[in-house]
Amino acid sequence: MKIQQLDLTVCDLVSGYHDDGKTEEANCQMLCRKCNQEKSAK
């Protein structure tokens, strides 16, 4: 999915804190809010 509006995006961690993910560029991805919510629901 191509993101059309940057104001509708969130920065997401590929590996979350519970998986010892670090807040660094290599572990981040930009997702639309809907995709981030769907990922969080899993």
Domain boundaries, the chain: 6-33
Q: What does the pLDDT look like over 1-42, one tens digit per residue?
A: 666 677 888 999 999 888 999 999 999 999 988 888 898 777
Give the pLDDT of residue 13.
92
Long-range pairs, 27-34, Cβ under 8 A, ≥24: 30/3, 31/3, 32/1, 32/3, 32/8, 33/8, 33/9
Cβ-based neighbour number of residue 31 at 10 Å? 19
Give the pLDDT of residue 5.
75
Give the pLDDT of residue 8.
83
Give the pLDDT of residue 28.
94
Give the pLDDT of residue 40.
77
